[in-house]
Amino acid sequence: MESLLIKGGVPLEGEVWISGAKNAALPIMAAALLTPEPCIIHRVPNLSDVRFMAQILNWLGASVTFKDGTLRIEARKIKGYGDYDLVRKMRGSICIMGPLLGRLKRARVSLPGGCVIGARPINLHLKGFEALGAKITIEGGYVQASARRLVGSAMFLGGRAGSTVLGTANVMMAATLAEGVTVIESAACEPEIVDLAKFLNAMGAKITGAGSPTITITGVKELHGAEHELIPDRIEAATYAIAAAATDGEVTIKGARADHMHAVLDKLEEAGVSVVRRGPDLIVSRKGRLRPVDVTTLPYAGFPTDVQAQMMALMTLAPGISIITERIFESRFMHVSELARLGADIEIEGPSAIVKGGRPLSGAPVMASDLRASAALVIAGLAARGTTQVNRVYHIDRGYENIDGKLRQLGARIQRIEDT
């Protein structure tokens, strides 16, 4: 098993290019199952999650080639069920269910796996499929959906923590080949949903309203192949911006989308970080002492839960008290105990973490519990004195393309080592 070894205390300087969005790539890859014709997807990040999804599509019968950031997927003949050993590895794999149901009118998919950050039920996905006329059964760890035909319907997909991103994507994909009109109320508004709708429309779908709480899908008889370039990864861009601030450096983040990052950039500026927008690029630096800020995670366009851990790492460096409240997932503070190993002073009270910042961090061995916790520990290690070893680096490889290489280009003293 590999680890990242970080010798901290070096300001990050230079330029870093942002990869395509992982959270857009996975459902768009799944959407290629809706047509027997070839689909070409550009700016695809080379991540373990992307490779897992490619394996799933291969297992279903699709031909998948991946070279130099471009995926070619051709799903001439496919089967309607997903293998447990593949699907269990990541939650995003559940998004194959909508395309299989849409094209074949049947789908049998293992309940998905992924990061251990709290319950993420798929009941809203199933509610949407049932509204389209599918019969749903769950048995032996598998979800089975079948329908003689899918018929458009009006549905509400809001849940306890707001809208469901993957649920919106799943139902939207199935509805493209349903008869009539489907209206999704309380739809997710994330940029990744907009990107999926753009790809589906390029395939011949008729989708309006993506990016708003109401999405309308007028079903068509068939979809065709299409070519598409993914949006940049707003979570990766936020992570590098926070790393620049944490190390008191200056980093130009190339190819980002500031319009997808308003909540994060607003909190960084409130914390005393300079963010200069220059076309598609962001120049991030820190002028003087960090200031504590309060953060509450919310569905888009609120502060993203996927940046909560990284922001907490930054707030450990800001003198004063910050309160970080998690409203999306109930178990997403597993990084707190590991940050404490580096010297952070954090207390958990219900859904909030009270961060008493300003104490210097010192390097230590730490254990990553999930993808974004890994990024937070890397940021803390970059800012800490001495050496930090981040174990279970496979988590970070799920969502960050070549993170150690990109950080080295910015001057970080970081290397990947094989555990003995």
3-state secondary structure of 137: strand
From 39, 95, 115, 189, the catalytic residue? 115
Which residue type occupies 195?
D
3-state secondary structure of 228: strand
Cα separation of 269 and 378, whole Å? 22
Which residue type occupies 361?
L
In Å, how far are 28, 62, 106, 191, 297 from 77, measured between CA atoms?
18, 7, 14, 31, 42
Q: For tokens 């080949």, name the residue.
A: 177
Q: For tokens 């094989």, name the residue.
A: 418
User: Closest Cα to residue 195, out of 233, 243, 242, 154?
Assistant: 233
39 noted as active-site residue: no
Question: Which residue(s) pair with 74 in the sheet?
Answer: 63
Residue pair 292/271 in contact by the 8 Å Cβ criterion: yes
DSSP-derived secondary structure letter, 387: E
Cα separation of 384 and 263, whole Å? 26
3-state secondary structure of 195: helix
3-state secondary structure of 151: strand
The catalytic site residues sit at 115
